[in-house]
């Protein structure tokens, strides 16, 4: 049974001010209702003034997704009554959106490239936010700081075939938006998704307002199972809107299609139609993820996997380019594999890491001043300092203070001799052909030299030492 998924994505554009007034969009740490004016509170007589920057951001996205910008687009009123919407209508775009017919390339479940078609993008205002007081209160609070934040709604065709594809699509889209600089991925709730899903031949269900990618994948996975079970029992899937309960990982029915609002859309009389198609040619697009990934492979000679990881986030790609001069391939491994792993473990962002320090660390590795094992140790120490808000010492200083420079041949010899003398059983086992025994001896030497000796080199030295009758 084929799974069919189409998404509607609401992206908060990172303009400095709201879509129809001059209020600041930087509201997240502020007191409720402190970023409001007569326009976003809908006081009588207040009139909207369109934010040009938001239009330009929308056009930038349209161009990046290869879309057709309409010669004339139009704002419309979407009428509904709810406390998060002080005007009792949302200004959005309806039958004349900003742009139509785009594409995004993703990987399908078999790892092949595939195209997800974009139906349309349009501008609209974010409603306010209801705050439900815990403990069964009789009332809810409403915060209008979010009211009027510019949203770009991106609607896809039903081209995705699994919850995993939907997640990959969202990752890809988010990367593009971050590259374009129109969206701040670190903002909570900056991207909210309505996920539509059906099984071939059945009605579709829309799961509204999911605020994380993992949430989208989970909600869709739940829906696939739920819908399959219904059909298996001979029941029908009903066309309805559902809510996703993040905590429990399930969706619940919100309303059926019959109960859907009639929004009574009509053209917004307070705003003139938009004629901006001629502005598109002048928009300069930055290098986008696919182009940057390809360039990384040719310019730096790194693998597809590394290039993909490194260009998955523009900040990470910039970081890599700032340290690649030391040794591009070594840098790719350390940044994409080691550093990212350590950052995830600490829940840290790449922004907190000083690139010069990592470049210095790479130089120590490249010149074989330290081993990989010590490299990881030093990296951890630097990251812990950054995480604690302490100054990040140069790696050379840490290596010097803690005596972590690569062990010299003389040191090897002594420690190897000691380890071999102390473990006659292991030596016998090795002579009897047991591979593990050599690893054990190498491990002993590694421990003794605190990772300052290279394990491969040691393996050779220890085996030679035993073979040539050093004991």
Ligand X SMILES: Nc1ncnc2c1ncn2[C@@H]1O[C@H](COP(=O)(O)OP(=O)(O)OP(=O)(O)O)[C@@H](O)[C@H]1O
Task: Identify the residue among 107, 108, 157, 342 touching ligand X (CB under 6 A).
Answer: 157
Would you call 456 exposed, middle or buried from its count of C-beta atoms within 10 A (0-12, 13-18, 19+)? exposed
Work out what residue 217 binds among ligand X, Mg ion, none; the CB cut-off runs from 5 to 8 Å by kind. Answer: none
User: Minimum distance from CB of 81 to ligand X (Å)?
Assistant: 16
Would you call 277 exposed, middle or buried from its count of C-beta atoms within 10 A (0-12, 13-18, 19+)? middle
**Residues 453/445, Cβ–Cβ less than 8 Å:** yes
Q: Please identify, among the stretches 56-64, 104-112, 170-178, 196-204, the one whose residues bind ligand X according to the rule CB under 6 A.
A: 196-204
231 near ligand X, judged by CB under 6 A? no
CA-wise closest residue to 124 among 156, 157, 107, 146: 146
In the chain, DSSP finds a helix count (H) and a strand count (E) of: 15, 14
Nearer Cβ to Mg ion (58/451): 58
User: Minimum distance from CB of 239 to ligand X (Å)?
Assistant: 9
**Residues 353/386, Cβ–Cβ less than 8 Å:** yes
Nearer Cβ to ligand X (94/465): 94
Nearer Cβ to ligand X (122/406): 122
Q: What b-and-e string marks burial along 336-375, b requiring 16 or more CB atoms within 10 Å of the CB?
A: bebbbebbeeeebebeebeeebbbbbbbbbeeebbbebbb
Q: How many CB atoms lie within 10 A of CB 80?
A: 14
Nearer Cβ to ligand X (122/357): 122
d(CA 303, CA 295): 11
Task: Identify the residue among 6, 86, 128, 150 touching ligand X (CB under 6 A).
Answer: 6
**Residues 65/116, Cβ–Cβ less than 8 Å:** no
365 near ligand X, judged by CB under 6 A? no
Task: Identify the residue among 7, 21, 154, 170 touching ligand X (CB under 6 A).
Answer: 7
User: Minimum distance from CB of 439 to Mg ion (Å)?
Assistant: 59
d(CA 433, CA 112): 46
User: Minimum distance from CB of 434 to ligand X (Å)?
Assistant: 59
* Cβ neighbours of residue 225 closer than 8 Å, sequence gap 6 or more: none
198 near ligand X, judged by CB under 6 A? yes
Q: How many CB atoms lie within 10 A of CB 273?
A: 13
* Cβ neighbours of residue 39 closer than 8 Å, sequence gap 6 or more: 18, 20, 21, 23, 46, 47, 48, 49, 148
d(CA 294, CA 297): 5
For residue 197, the cross-strand partners are 5, 205
Work out what residue 212 binds among Mg ion, ligand X, none; the CB cut-off runs from 5 to 8 Å by kind. Answer: none
Nearer Cβ to ligand X (50/155): 155
Task: Identify the residue among 18, 63, 77, 204 touching ligand X (CB under 6 A).
Answer: 204
102 near ligand X, judged by CB under 6 A? no
Work out what residue 7 binds among ligand X, Mg ion, none; the CB cut-off runs from 5 to 8 Å by kind. Answer: ligand X
User: Minimum distance from CB of 28 to ligand X (Å)?
Assistant: 26
Nearer Cβ to ligand X (201/301): 201
* Cβ neighbours of residue 288 closer than 8 Å, sequence gap 6 or more: 64, 176, 179
Nearer Cβ to ligand X (118/350): 118
Nearer Cβ to ligand X (158/470): 158
Q: Please identify, among the stretches 129-137, 151-159, 301-309, 374-382, the one whose residues bind Mg ion according to the rule CB under 5 A.
A: 151-159
Residue 119: what are its φ and ψ, rounded to 5°?
Answer: -75, -50
User: Minimum distance from CB of 10 to Mg ion (Å)?
Assistant: 7
| DSSP assigned state of 311 | T
196 near ligand X, judged by CB under 6 A? yes
Nearer Cβ to Mg ion (195/310): 195
Query: What residue is closest to Mg ion based on CB?
Result: 153
Task: Identify the residue among 158, 185, 189, 455 touching ligand X (CB under 6 A).
Answer: 158
Which 136-155 positions form the footprint of ligand X (CB under 6 A)?
155
* Cβ neighbours of residue 429 closer than 8 Å, sequence gap 6 or more: 436, 437
Task: Identify the residue among 178, 206, 268, 360 touching ligand X (CB under 6 A).
Answer: 206
Task: Identify the residue among 14, 93, 147, 156 touching ligand X (CB under 6 A).
Answer: 156
Query: What residue is closest to ligand X based on CB?
Result: 6
How many residues touch ligand X under the rule CB under 6 A: the total is 15
8 near ligand X, judged by CB under 6 A? yes
Residue 87: what are its φ and ψ, rounded to 5°?
Answer: -80, -15
* Sites of contact with Mg ion (CB under 5 A): 153
Binding residues (CB under 6 A) for ligand X: these are 4-8, 155-158, 194, 196-198, 204, 206
């Amino acid at each position: 049974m084929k799974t069919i998924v189409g998404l509607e994505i609401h992206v908060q554009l990172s303009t400095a001010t709201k879509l129809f007034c001059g209020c600041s969009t930087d509201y997240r740490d502020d007191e409720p209702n402190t970023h409001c004016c007569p326009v976003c509170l809908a006081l009588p007589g207040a009139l909207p003034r369109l934010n040009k920057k938001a239009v330009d951001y929308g056009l930038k996205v349209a161009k990046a997704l290869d879309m057709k910008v309409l010669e004339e687009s139009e704002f419309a009123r979407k009428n509904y009554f709810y406390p998060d919407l002080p005007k009792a209508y949302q200004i959005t775009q309806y039958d004349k959106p900003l742009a139509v017919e785009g594409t995004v390339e993703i990987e399908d479940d078999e790892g092949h490239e595939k195209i997800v078609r974009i139906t349309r993008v349009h501008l609209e205002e974010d409603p306010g936010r209801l705050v439900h007081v815990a403990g069964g209160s009789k009332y809810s609070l409403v915060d209008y700081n979010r009211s009027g934040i510019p949203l770009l709604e991106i609607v896809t065709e039903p081209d995705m075939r699994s919850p995993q594809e939907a997640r990959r699509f969202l990752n890809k889209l988010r990367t593009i938006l971050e590259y374009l600089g129109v969206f701040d991925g670190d903002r909570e709730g900056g991207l909210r998704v309505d996920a539509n899903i059906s099984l071939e031949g059945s009605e579709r269900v829309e799961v509204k307002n999911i605020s994380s990618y993992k949430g989208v994948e989970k909600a869709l996975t739940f829906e696939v199972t739920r819908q399959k079970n219904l059909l298996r029992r001979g029941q029908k899937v009903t066309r309805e809107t559902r809510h996703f309960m993040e905590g429990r990982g399930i969706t619940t029915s919100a309303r059926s299609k019959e109960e859907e609002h009639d929004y009574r859309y009509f053209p917004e009389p307070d705003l003139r139609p938009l004629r901006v198609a001629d502005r598109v040619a002048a928009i300069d697009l930055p290098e986008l993820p696919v182009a940057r990934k390809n360039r990384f492979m040719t310019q730096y000679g790194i693998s597809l996997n590394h290039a993909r990881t490194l260009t998955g986030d523009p900040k990470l790609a910039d970081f890599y380019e700032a340290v690649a001069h030391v040794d591009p391939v070594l840098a790719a491994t350390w940044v994409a594999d080691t550093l990212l792993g350590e950052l995830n473990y600490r829940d840290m962002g790449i922004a907190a890491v000083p690139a010069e320090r990592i470049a210095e660390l790479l130089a120590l590795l490249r010149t074989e001043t330290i081993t990989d094992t010590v490299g990881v140790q030093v990296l951890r120490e630097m990251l812990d300092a950054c995480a604690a808000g302490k100054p990040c010492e140069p790696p050379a200083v840490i290596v010097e203070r803690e005596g972590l420079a690569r062990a010299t041949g003389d040191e090897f010899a002594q420690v190897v001799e000691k380890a071999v003398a102390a473990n006659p059983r292991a030596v016998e086992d090795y002579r009897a052909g047991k591979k593990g025994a050599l690893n054990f001896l190498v491990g002993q030497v590694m421990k003794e030299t605190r990772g300052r000796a290279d394990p491969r080199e040691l393996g050779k030295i220890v085996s030679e030492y035993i073979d040539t009758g050093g004991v």
